[in-house]
């Protein structure tokens, strides 16, 4: 009996050691959205959505294995039946390790959104990053579909962080610095195609307890801005500030955020210019108020009110989004 107890204790300790380098984190949120289209005979829409994401991370020394799972979950509107996403989808799966001071990453992962382009996920990625003196060097190869290779070099000059990436179809240029408490940022996506460049500039700082950010995304005549950032979600065409942009349209935004009675209150004004006729009389103006409050339960409640005035189409909307989210 004693031997069995000892064996069980040893087995439990071995299991604990085996699990010590495995972690599971994630997030879940539920949203209720009401959209009112200010057009005659157009009814409001009401919708509940749910989204869950799970990240599994395993470590062994300098080697890390990451698996990201995501699922849309419940999707119910007032005009159709509830639908289910079919469970969790495998999104990112990659291995990252260190070989002779070089960080090597291989697998599938999303490159993330920014203010100029939407994100993309591909299989068969290989990435290597290292340093040579004051230079940070990077290489990325993608073999999913058409083969594409990227070469990156970065450094810091006089307090300015600089980065340049050469791609098969263009370049990515980044620069950032801080002057007198004001953060400055530049993002450029030059293209080998004529009149297809995109640029973004941003300034951010704090004034009298207010966090202020101003940004402008510009596109040449045949370039189109996409992506999901603080400027807005320009990857869909449903409601609020979720829309498709067309070639040549620019986006300008200002954000002011502060704390009020334990709540974070954010105001955003975003203007999308009309590339066809031009002039402010045909622009789209988006005003958004976001109130975020942490709850004693560990969850976070967020209220978002969006007013969209589309002068070009004459279609104005107001949207109320109530979100309950938790991270673990």
Task: Report the pLDDT value the prediction gives residue 88, as an integer from 0 to 100.
Answer: 78
Average pLDDT across the chain, whole number: 86
Cβ atoms 283, 310 nearer than 8 A: no
With a cut of 50, say whether residue 240 has pLDDT above it: no
| Tokens describing residue 148 | 């594409």
The pTM (predicted TM-score) of the whole model is 0.84
Distance CA 9, CA 266 (A): 54
**pLDDT tier for residue 6 given thresholds of 50, 70 and 90:** very low
Q: What are 134-161's pLDDT values in tens digits? A: 999 999 998 765 557 899 999 999 999 9
Task: Report the pLDDT value the prediction gives residue 251, as an integer from 0 to 100.
Answer: 95
Residue written as tokens 């869950």?
52
Q: What are 97-136's pLDDT values in tens digits? A: 999 999 999 999 988 889 999 888 888 899 999 999 999 9
Q: What are 12-66's pLDDT values in tens digits? A: 444 544 555 999 999 999 999 999 887 766 778 898 989 999 999 999 999 999 9
Cβ atoms 251, 216 nearer than 8 A: yes
CA distances from 306 to 25, 248, 267 (A): 31, 24, 10
Task: Report the pLDDT value the prediction gives residue 121, as an integer from 0 to 100.
Answer: 84
């Amino acid at each position: 009996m004693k031997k069995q107890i000892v064996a069980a204790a040893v087995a439990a300790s071995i299991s604990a050691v085996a699990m010590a380098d495995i972690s599971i984190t994630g997030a879940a949120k539920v949203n209720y959205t009401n959209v009112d289209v200010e057009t005659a005979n157009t009814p409001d829409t009401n919708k509940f959505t749910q989204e869950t994401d799970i990240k599994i991370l395993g470590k062994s020394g300098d080697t890390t294995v990451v698996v990201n799972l995501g699922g849309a979950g419940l999707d119910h509107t007032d005009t159709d039946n509830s639908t289910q996403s079919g469970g969790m989808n495998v999104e990112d799966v990659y291995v990252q390790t260190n070989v002779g001071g070089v960080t090597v990453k291989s697998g599938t992962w999303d490159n993330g959104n920014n203010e100029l382009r939407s994100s993309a996920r591909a299989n068969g990625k290989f990435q290597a990053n290292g340093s040579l003196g004051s230079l940070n060097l990077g290489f990325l190869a993608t073999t999913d579909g058409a083969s594409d290779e990227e070469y990156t070099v970065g450094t810091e000059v006089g307090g300015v962080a600089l980065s340049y990436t050469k791609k098969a179809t263009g370049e990515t240029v980044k620069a950032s610095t801080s002057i007198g408490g004001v953060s400055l940022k530049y993002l450029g996506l030059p293209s080998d195609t004529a009149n297809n460049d995109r640029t973004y500039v941003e300034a951010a700082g704090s004034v009298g307890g207010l966090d202020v950010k101003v940004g402008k995304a510009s596109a040449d005549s045949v370039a189109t801005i996409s992506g999901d950032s603080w400027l807005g979600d320009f990857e869909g065409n449903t409601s609020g500030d979720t829309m498709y942009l067309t070639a040549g349209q620019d986006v300008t935004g200002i954000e002011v955020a502060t704390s009020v009675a334990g709540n974070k209150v954010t105001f955003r004004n975003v203007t999308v210019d009309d590339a066809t006729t031009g002039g402010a009389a045909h622009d789209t103006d988006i005003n958004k108020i976001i109130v975020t409050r942490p709850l004693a339960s560990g969850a976070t409640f967020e209220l978002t009110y969006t007013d969209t005035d589309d002068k070009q189409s004459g279609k104005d909307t107001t949207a109320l989004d109530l979100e309950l989210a938790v991270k673990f």
